[in-house]
Amino acid sequence: MTAFELFARLSPAETTGILEWFQESDRPAYKTCVGLLAGRRKLRPVFVERKPKAERNVWMTENLAKSVNADIAAEVLQAWILGAHGAMVCEFLEVLKIPHDGRGLIEALPAEPPVGEMDKAVNQLFANHPAGAVFVYLNLFAAMEMTDWPHLKSLVATDARLCQNPTKP
């Protein structure tokens, strides 16, 4: 699932949480995001910035859920995962014995770990972290061009926790 498809599947509470975290944690990047989304709609950024917060979040979510904004959606979700859920990323990599920089970044992606280890890592993430964050992270991870992990790709296509948002009714 791509980043824009993930935005379309997240609940309004989740997208609001992501956008509020983004605004509070990286104001310059948030402003850039607003500006890019507005520009692609042929609007001045101030038009979006002046909207009440709740209305702005809905507008941004609707636009981040469009394929034309896939690149922006990916940047927002990646920033949120690494910033707000870095411990989850590190836990996943550690369970799979993949060396990282302590913040979840890796130099090179190794070959896919054995099926049993992958299943254990996925189950552990769901046990220890919010289901919506795990849903987003593993879908983003599996969708990366450099990820040649057939079992993980199979999981995101068949595991109900990963192929549909477990927190959205």
Query: Residues 56-108: pLDDT tens digits?
Result: 999 999 999 999 999 999 999 999 999 999 999 999 999 999 999 998 889 88
Pick from 60, 120, 56, 132: which is nearest to 92 by CA?
120
123-152 residue pLDDT tens:
999 999 999 999 999 999 999 888 899 999
Q: Which amino acid is at 166?
A: P
pLDDT value of residue 29: 94
Q: Which positions ≥6 away from 42 have C-beta within 8 Å?
A: none
73 neighbors 8 (Cβ within 8 angstroms): no
In this model, does residue 164 exceed pLDDT 80? no
Q: Which residues contact 9 (CB under 8 A, 6 or more apart)?
A: 1, 164, 165, 168
Does residue 108 sit in helix, strand or coil?
A: coil
DSSP string across 119-157: HHHHHHHHHHS-HHHHHHHHHHHHHSTT---HHHHHHHH
Asked whether the beta carbons of 79 and 22 are under 8 A apart, the reply is yes
Please report the pLDDT score of residue 166 as a whole number: 59
Give domain limits for the chain: 3-84, 86-163
Instruction: Collapse the DSSP code of 5 into the 3-class scheme (helix H, G, I; strand E, B; otherwise coil) and give the result.
Output: helix
DSSP 65: T
Looking at residue 80, its pLDDT comes to: 97
47 or 164, which is more confident? 47
Q: What is the pLDDT of residues 33-51, one digit of tens each?
A: 999 999 999 999 999 999 9
- Please report the pLDDT score of residue 42 as a whole number: 96
Rounded to whole angstroms, how far apart are CA atoms 56 and 34?
Answer: 9
Here the tokens at position 84 are 């707000």
Average pLDDT score over residue span 97-120: 93
Cβ-contact 141, 119 below 8 angstroms: no
Give the integer Cα–Cα distance in Å for 113 and 148: 11
- For residues 31 and 37, give the distance between their C-alpha atoms in angstroms, rounded to a whole number: 10
